[in-house]
Chain A
Amino acid sequence: QSALTQPASVSGSPGQSITISCTGTSSDVGSYNLVSWYQQHPGKAPKLMIYEGSKRPSGVSNRFSGSKSGNTASLTISGLQAEDEADYYCCSYAGSSTFHVVFGGGTKLTVL
């Protein structure tokens, strides 16, 4: 199973909205609403931001939202703040004869 495809970088100004895409195949993203998104600041462990496509864990700002269309999942961050600057990774159940998950290559978000 190949890694999911994410843009290497995105940027936006404070207060704006940005969207990060995560493209898979009909075998992973397209077949299941099981995409999760993680935020990672430099030198830190990833933090769960979105699970099962669009659900937010307790404590995560409602400025973060997730969606899916076909084989592509998306993470939208509205009202950009300086602290949102980080790397973001998507992850999907890959669904096969045995359990397997795949991650995207990561997207660097720069808040201008």
Chain B
Amino acid sequence: QVQLQESGPGLVKPSQTLSLTCTVSGGSISSGSYYWSWIRQPAGKGLEWIGRIYTSGSTNYNPSLKSRVTISVDTSKNQFSLKLSSVTAADTAVYYCARAPLATYYFDYWGQGTLVTVSS
């Protein structure tokens, strides 16, 4: 059974860069059968797709966040990562990593989520 686990600082200062890592276990991120995404959820609000990456390093980003987002993959560690620059309080949210089967548009496995607070 595949498992995803987010990790990273829980507190980031305004204008700095938020950095999170998702570690995948129970399956290889290099299998080529999945896309790996980041999704966030502000407290009491809905879900927002941030972006995704394929094993090859090919990425797609939410147009509303594209200028600030970088997603990368480290197949040797079975991990993928998120960097969100120039953060503000509006970026405070629970951040999830999730898996989507290739050529599909749904997320079948999710991490438990990690809360990131942007505050000085």
- Give, as a whole number of angstroms, the nearest-CB distance from A58 to chain B: 10
| Residues of A close to B62: CB separation below 8 A | 100
Using CB atoms and an 8 Å cutoff, list the residues of chain B in contact with chain A. Answer: 45-49, 52, 60, 62-63, 96, 104-108, 110-113
Interface size in chain A (residues, C-beta < 8 A): 27
Q: Cβ of A100 and Cβ of B107 under 8 Å apart? A: no
Residue of A with least CB distance to B48? A103
- Give, as a whole number of angstroms, the nearest-CB distance from B60 to chain A: 4
| Residues of A close to B60: CB separation below 8 A | 98-100
Q: Cβ of B49 and Cβ of A52 under 8 Å apart? A: no
Q: Cβ of B48 and Cβ of A45 under 8 Å apart? A: no
Known: A45-B96, A45-B113, A98-B60. A103 touches B107 (CB 8 A): no
Number of A-B contacts (CB under 8 A): 61
Known: A45-B96, A46-B47, A105-B46. A57 touches B108 (CB 8 A): yes
| Residues of A close to B113: CB separation below 8 A | 45
Residue of B with least CB distance to A1? B63
Q: Within A83-112, which residues are at the interface with B (CB < 8 Å)?
A: 89, 91-93, 98-106
Q: Does A48 contact B (CB under 8 A)?
A: yes
Q: Cβ of A103 and Cβ of B111 under 8 Å apart? A: no
Q: Cβ of A91 and Cβ of B46 under 8 Å apart? A: no
Q: Cβ of B52 and Cβ of A106 under 8 Å apart? A: no
